[in-house]
């Protein structure tokens, strides 16, 4: 029986790009928790082994994620804000270990894709008005202002590290970890659950998720939603620990001068990247998947080169004009629920 014909009991996380589904074959229902963090709903589903109550670990996880949400926020007061102020004034900043690791990794991931994922473009992202909870209508930034920021040549290469101290050689560098921190937090969440004896879990932050182990009586099934928000394009069963992360320009965008401008920017031009509607990456590491899915969204038709640069063999792209493109390894594992009528190709 194909997965698409099975009957599903629940569809969690409404509004997300991906949905975790549990079937009627379930033995015991999974334990669930839900919080609003990182600008999205975070859903946890886990299997409690006999005699193992997940209540304490869920409380600990909620507290840790809340802390990271505050520490890594791009535009609200917190540690990242303090770091950005120091970078702008050329002062050294002593970073707490998890922020330091996050920034160092972001620098090296940016280097791997030639800066298509560029966490140093916080100034540009702010200029486009994406540093707000609500996406207000308005006017597009002036070409001069965009050019000035591009001329400042902001890349994370300007960051230097000395022990736990960070500084920037370029005062225009402003870190925005929005394309990456959520993935990083998902990895930390899964590790915490695993270390407390919960080996079968899905942590889902608005459609970006890490699954580990198995669901109730069978593997976890993950649905990849169509970028339009209507329907599921494909389903996959995860095995072991796997991250499934989607970057999309369909959920967060502003209407400026009557047109839609999406929140993923092309650091080469300073303008929103428009060729890709959504990019889904599957790999072991959610932080890598998050940075890679953003870089793939920026790359457009050249996206297979970016996947190779990140060592990723499973990716799926929906182009702005509705074509669905797969890497071979991704195509071979998905159940194509809703691909029949679409222009599908295996291109990498």
Residues that bind ligand ADP (CB under 6 A): 74, 117-119, 125, 130, 176, 178-179, 208, 247-248, 251-252, 263-265, 267, 290, 294, 297-298
In whole angstroms, the minimum distance from the beta carbon of 219 to ligand ADP comes to 24
176 binds Mg ion (CB under 5 A): no
- CB–CB of 85/79 below 8 Å? no
**Choice between 242 and 251, CB closer to ligand ADP:** 251
What are the tokens at 67? 């802390």
Number of helical H runs and strand E runs in the chain: 9, 20
Q: What is the size of the binding site for Mg ion (CB under 5 A)?
A: 5
Tokens at residue 276, please? 């890709």
Task: Indicate whether 208 belongs to the interface with Mg ion (CB under 5 A).
Answer: no
> Does residue number 174 form part of the binding site for Mg ion (CB under 5 A)?
no
Residues paired with residue 346 on neighbouring β-strands, in sequence order: 326
The answer for residues whose C-beta is within 8 angstroms of residue 189's C-beta and 6 or more apart is 44, 61, 64, 65, 203, 210
Q: Which residue number, 22 or 179, has a Cβ lying nearer to ligand ADP? A: 179
Q: Quick check: 9 and 25 in contact, CB under 8 A?
A: no
Structure tokens at 44: 């946890």
Q: Which of 16, 168, 174, 247 binds Mg ion (CB under 5 A)?
A: 247
Chosen from Mg ion, ligand ADP, none, partner binding at 215 (C-beta under 5 to 8 Å by type): none
- Binding residues among 280-299 for Mg ion as defined by CB under 5 A: 290, 293-294
Binding residue for Mg ion, selected from 37, 103, 121, 179, defined by CB under 5 A = 179
Report the side by side order of strands in the sheet with 18-23: 8-11, 18-23, 221-225, 232-237
338 binds Mg ion (CB under 5 A): no
118 binds Mg ion (CB under 5 A): no
Residue ranges in 254-285 assigned as alpha helix (H): none
User: By C-beta, is 278 or 325 nearer to Mg ion?
Assistant: 278
């Amino acid at each position: 029986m194909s997965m698409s014909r099975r009957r599903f009991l629940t569809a969690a996380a409404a509004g997300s790009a991906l949905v975790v589904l549990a079937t009627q074959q379930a033995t015991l229902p999974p334990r669930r928790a839900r919080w609003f963090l990182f600008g999205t709903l975070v859903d946890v589903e886990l299997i409690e082994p006999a005699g193992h109550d997940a209540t304490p670990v869920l409380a600990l996880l909620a507290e840790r994620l809340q802390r990271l949400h505050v520490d890594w926020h791009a535009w609200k007061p917190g540690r990242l804000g303090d770091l950005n102020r120091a970078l702008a004034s050329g002062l050294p900043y002593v970073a707490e270990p998890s922020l330091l690791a996050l920034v160092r990794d972001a620098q090296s991931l940016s280097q791997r894709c030639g800066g298509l994922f560029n966490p140093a473009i916080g100034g540009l992202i702010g200029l486009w008005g994406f540093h707000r909870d609500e996406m207000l209508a308005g006017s597009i930034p002036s070409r001069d202002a965009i050019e000035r920021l591009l001329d400042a040549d902001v890349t994370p290469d300007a960051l230097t590290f000395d022990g736990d101290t960070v500084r920037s050689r370029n005062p225009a560098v402003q870190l925005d970890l929005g394309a990456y921190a959520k993935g990083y937090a998902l990895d930390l969440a899964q590790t915490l659950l695993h270390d407390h004896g919960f080996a079968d879990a899905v942590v889902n932050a608005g459609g970006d998720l890490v699954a580990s182990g198995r669901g109730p009586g069978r593997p976890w099934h993950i649905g990849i939603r169509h970028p339009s928000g209507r329907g599921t394009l494909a389903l996959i069963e995860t095995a072991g620990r796997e991250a499934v992360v989607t970057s999309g320009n369909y959920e967060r965008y502003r209407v400026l001068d009557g047109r839609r401008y999406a929140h993923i920017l092309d650091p080469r031009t300073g303008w929103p990247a428009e060729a890709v509607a959504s990019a889904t990456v599957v790999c072991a590491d959610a932080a890598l998947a998050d940075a890679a899915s953003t870089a793939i969204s920026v790359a457009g038709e050249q996206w297979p080169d970016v996947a190779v640069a990140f060592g990723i063999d499973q990716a799926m792209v929906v182009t702005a004009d509705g074509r669905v493109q797969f890497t071979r390894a991704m195509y071979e594992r998905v159940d194509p629920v809703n691909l029949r009528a679409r222009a599908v190709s295996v291109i990498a």
